[in-house]
Amino acid sequence: MDMAKSTKQSSSNLIYLPWLLTIVVTILAILVWGNSYRWQLSHASSYQFFPLLGLIGFSIMWSHYMAGFMRDTFLRRANLRLYFTYTGYIVLCMIVLHPGILIYQRFRDGYGLPPRSYESYVAPGMGWLTLLGSVSLLIFLAFELHRFYRTKNWWKYVTYLGDIAMIAVFYHGLRLGTQLQSGWYRWVWLFFGITLLLRIATKYYQRARTNTLL
């Protein structure tokens, strides 16, 4: 009886791990962004601010994947509904504001609307990477409709697209992110990418074993 009570209490304490992980990766994103400007932010422009939202948005989405792994392994009895709900709202704000601020600022500066305004912002030959981010955004926004359609048989294909979009955003950030071209945070980002791929691979492996992939 005492052992069962102890196990339940231990599981109750571990439920905070996803929250802690989200806080840590968010702090790391803020640190690398602030350090890149030596914390001289009093006159920060939209061009300097919008990358931070992308870093935070992806970092929290990565935390969701890791929280899913925790739930499937050592947090089986934990209820993470509130975690996914509240952090999901934060992610939604980040992934909308990240491109939204850039689109608005480019339009205000006379560069028009995407995709031309994107192409003129990045180096030649990199325009397709901005479109990769835009397509991923649309997929993430479609995923927000899970409240209405998650019981439908076809909804699993939207989740598959969401996994592809996560990989695409990882690559998008790796190639275009100012804070990711060198330094310690590049290694953090690579760690995100490797663990993300492992999580996705193990998830589909388990589904294939139980014949729930299709």
Instruction: Give the pLDDT score at 1.
Output: 43
**DSSP string covering 82-146, please?**
HHHHHHHHHHHHHHHHHHHHHHHHHHHTT--STTHHHHTTSPTT-HHHHHHHHHHHHHHHHHTTH
- The answer to whether residue 80 sits within a structural domain is yes
Residue range of the domain that includes 17? 2-209
pTM: 0.89
Is residue 25 in some structural domain?
yes
pLDDT, tens only, 8-58: 555 566 788 999 999 999 999 999 999 999 898 888 899 999 999 999 999
Q: Is residue 136 part of a domain?
A: yes
Residue 15 falls inside a structural domain: yes
Predicted local confidence at residue 7, as pLDDT: 45
Residue 195 or 132, more confident: 195
* Residue 96 is assigned to a structural domain of this protein: yes
- pLDDT digit string (tens) for 131-157? 888 889 889 888 877 777 778 888 888
Q: 214 lies in a domain?
A: no
Residue entry with tokens 């909308």: 96
Report the number of distinct structural domains present in the chain. Answer: 1
Residue 23 lies in a domain: yes
